[in-house]
Copies of this chain bind each other. A is one copy, B any other.
């Protein structure tokens, strides 16, 4: 095991080919301004082939060139243990695009996950510079992180829409607003007049967009919006909330609640969609989408698009108008949306929970997005 065998350098190749190191560099760079004679070029390439020379990416990078490495920062573990891999579809798209473009991916796993999230500024910032640019993924979007990144002028792209006062935030996002509007409009078309929104009422962009779509559809139909806080409540509590508000349809913006709600409704003898229509606003867990009406988030495409934007920014040939891309969601017809029926039986309340303290109260803001803050949701993108 000869540890001595150091790797071949350009200087070595140059010596063997009888040229200068600079010439080797030019030959290998290819599309340089400098011209190299065909004979010399072939001589160099021959030596490269014979010696098996391969460029040292580290030196390339230090010398100011690109190294075709893309950093990937996730606020949560890339490979979670507990549930099915949330990032997986995103990474499928990212890896495919990386392979297509010949890029390597640097996962910033060194930043420890503390209280559920990684910290970009404290731990990851230094390592960022290793890559040509960086992809950001995850539910958190510390405004300081964004401002810092923008301030540095370091190329980055967020997966999921983000906004910052510090400047333009490049992103690849799903069009939650349009998709939500579409599914709520469908409920309107089906004849519903009391359509609620149950979900995260916090400032996260992905939920703001859903609410905006909801408000647009409801307003267009001349209906009254009913916003309910759906964070950290179970299916029964949610159902009570809906019944209290005498809703016939609800758009649910959380990604476990729709199933819990469906279960609770059926358990109590309510017919879905007969007595209650349920649409879910995007669902990361494809396994459960079979039945529920709603829409699908184009995660794989988001990953691909994000990486394409990033390489465009790095190359400097992507106009700023294209730094933000919004991808359409595909609608899922499902089986939980249907025309409302006049209730023949009085909806049964759960006695124990009826009017229980701590049950979230309905919110009815005058302006979209102007609702009470709520804990962060479980849906990062």
Contact = CB atoms under 8 A, between A and B. Distances in A.
Contact of A57 (B79, B126, B151): B126
Contact of A54 (B58, B59, B102, B126): B126
B99 A110 contact: yes
Interface in A271-315: none
Interface residues of A, number: 56
Q: How many copies does the complex hold?
A: 2
Interface string A325-354: 000000000000000000000000000000
B99 A113 contact: yes
A197 interface: no
Given A5-B152, A153-B4, A95 B69 contact: no
A62 interface: yes
A270 interface: no
Contacts of A54: 125-126, 129
A78 B95 CA distance: 8
A87 to B, nearest CB: 9
A356 interface: no
A318 interface: no
A1 B129 contact: no
A47 interface: no
A19 interface: no
A264 B172 CA distance: 47
Contact of A151 (B5, B59, B108, B167): B5
Nearest to A3: B153
Contact of A5 (B62, B153, B168): B153
Contacts of A102: 110, 112
Given A79-B88, A85-B88, 16 more contacts: A1-B153, A1-B166, A1-B167, A52-B125, A54-B129, A56-B126, A58-B62, A62-B62, A68-B110, A79-B92, A95-B109, A98-B109, A99-B113, A102-B112, A105-B107, A106-B107
Q: Which 7 pairs across A and B sit closest by C-beta, in order of nearness?
A: A54-B126, A3-B153, A105-B107, A98-B109, A79-B91, A1-B167, A102-B110
